[in-house]
Structure 1
Amino acid sequence: MSVLEIQNPLWKMCMFISLMRRRMTVYKHECFKIFSKPSIYLVFALITGLLLWGEQSIPPEPVFDESHEELIERWGGPVTEEMNEIVREEMVMQDGGESPDNLHPIEGNVHFSIASAWGNKEAMKERKADLQMKKEELTPSSYAWRVASKEQEMYEKVGEAHGFFIVEGWRGMFDFLEPFFSVILLAVLILVGLSPVFADEHGKRMAGLLLATKHGRKKLVTAKLLAGITYIAAIFVSLHVVNTVIHVVKFGGLGGWDAPIQSLWSSMFAWWSPYGQSPFAWNVLEFWGATLTVQFFGSLVFGVLVLVCSQLTRNAMVAFFISGCVLAAPYVIRQLGLEHGMMEYVTAFSYMELIRTERLFQTFEAYNVFGIPVLYHTVLICLFALITVGVTVLLYWSHKHEQVAG
């Protein structure tokens, strides 16, 4: 090969295209090996069936129709002191056996929602006043002052966030995002699909042959990682699409996307909001996007852990068990009441909390990072980003070491 050929831009481009094609071939082959497993489709079908069965057990209640327009017109929007007084009077009448004129069948639930929204509004107002008093007693350069100031600033941005909003469809969407059981469903799909990725090569005695090929080194690990990411993205999108369709059909739409998250659960059929004191000034759609992003990131980093276990153990069942234990152990610790000392950090900074997202945005929680208060979810994401980089390096190192040993 002459020097002129090597320096020729067209020749370089052809070589680059040829290299990319070879890499794409390996990537497609790895994707095929994952997606051709019948077990993932069986598990996905079972999970879809569970979602449908769970929603069918609750009678459908369309809320975006003409029958609720009067209710929304009367009570919809931010809560006021006048609204709170009216609903409390009507609640007293109902407790006494009296029924206000023209009472909507579910208006009693709405009364509780508005009363709860007013209580949350007053509690947030008191919290802001307490923070102001606390700041006046602290030294401005102290860490405690920075924490109080950050929390106060976040609450100030929230504004008039409490009230009655029709967000039933979105409530169902978040019911799939956050509960422990739903996280387990997503985790099982990841475990079933990725546990065999490296382990199967050893089980089928293909590892030696693969390691002897030109793709047996770093390219093969990269292809498997990319195929794993593709698989996680596919099941993640599929599950959430199924869940979205179910709730659009059940409730007749996804209105209320612009409602503040502090009133996310304060609606027709639920009057307690876990986000009633949340310091995040997001509407429902923004919050849904944020939680989806965090959960997808959590799914990816957990998937990398599964791949590493598959490579190190060389057994799909062992990789499945170890990865599952790493995910579930913090939850078990919490349920057993062992969340003390270091165990408190183990449960707070875990794959489960990252994928679950439930505790990340409910209240103000910050950690001291070099004298700067950093929000809990930011610390958690950064920590697992670093852990995943280390785990990925371990994956490449383990694979390379295995080749040298072979």
Structure 2
Amino acid sequence: MSVNQKVLIIGFVWPEPNSSAAGGRMVQLISIFKQQGFEVTFASPAMDSDYMIDLNSLGISKKSITLNCSSFDVFVKELNPTIVLFDRFMMEEQFGWRVAENCPDALRLLDTEDLHCLRLARQKAFKENRPFSTDDLLVEDVAKREIASILRCDVSLMIAEYEMELLQSVFKIDIDLLYYLPLLLEPITVSTIQNLPSFEERNNFVFIGNFLHEPNWNAVQYLKETIWPLVRKQMPEAVLHIYGAYPSQKVLQLHQPKQGFYIMGRADSAQEVVQNGRVMLAPLRFGAGIKGKLLEAMQCGTPSVTTSIGAESMCGDLPWNGFIADDPQIFAYKAVELYQDKTIWLKAQENGFEIMEKLYLKSVFENDFVQHILKIQTHLKQYRLNNFMGTLLQHHTLTSTKYMSRWIEEKNK
């Protein structure tokens, strides 16, 4: 396709790669488009933040947009993008119908990040102290919105294979509408591995995660109340450093140096704090998607102990970069074993390098992804005819959301 490709990304927030895996993911997608020579504009209704990436320095146009305002229609018509990427389903809900109306020929991509409905349904089941069932998804309100959004888009980017399977088995989504694109990594070189701190040079347990993300906050509470006392029973001198962006007062109150439990707040360099830790602890009890913190631990050569939810969709058939345990006693026991036994630790580290090499190399996915979207663009009309449910939802959304939005706009005047 010789068309000069213009990509418009509509962001839920401005990308903060140092604050969350979602921010890192967005920067990866931008870099794929830039490497292809595509012209990229990033627009968001969010407020600027102190930690957002400098988009202009990456050669990307930055545009602030307003919800429920026809100024967006003027902007998007003038820009006339060939590809529009919605960052999470909420942005597609807000702006998808405007894109469809003003730029009907633009390919509409949805980056799901993780399945929000899966994360929320698991969270509800957890809070209600009962096992999660896939039937929970069918009664989850967010699922109705998220699935509608997936159907209205031409392609939805998925980072977890388990979620692709769920969408097909539970919601009967056509596989043609889904595309597997995990978090992407550069190959880890021998010299990088050699330059990582050794077993002896590292100390302390570490946890890292954005505190605005409920699974992270819950994991820290679980560490504090249940797991850490079990670790300290076996290792009275053990120290755990908890890092994360946006810690609230609730989080800061957990800081108890006498128990070796340190709330460190935002890390200036996530990579630095993770690679200086000897073992990462991530006892996630609900959540979805691929866990950026666990992939980062592998990159830093830091073995981890996590739960089956934490490791879900992350290592295929390969052995984990440490241990997977859902029982708190076993979790604590394995954490101490991994911390104290160099042989086990080195093997776990090696497993992490193998997982990265076999499942996450950017070079394996990048070109296929670009070819896939270019191919769809060449027969977009026929492709959309095959997705009748999507067309149906687009029709009704255009009508209902459009008039609701117009009403809000009038009201705001």
TM over 0.5: same fold? no
Which one has a larger percent strand, Structure 1 or Structure 2?
2
TM-score, structure 2 normalization? 0.24
Structure whose alpha-carbon radius of gyration is higher? 1
The one of the two structures with greater contact order (alpha-carbon pairs below 8 A, sep at least 6) is 1
TM-score, structure 1 normalization? 0.24
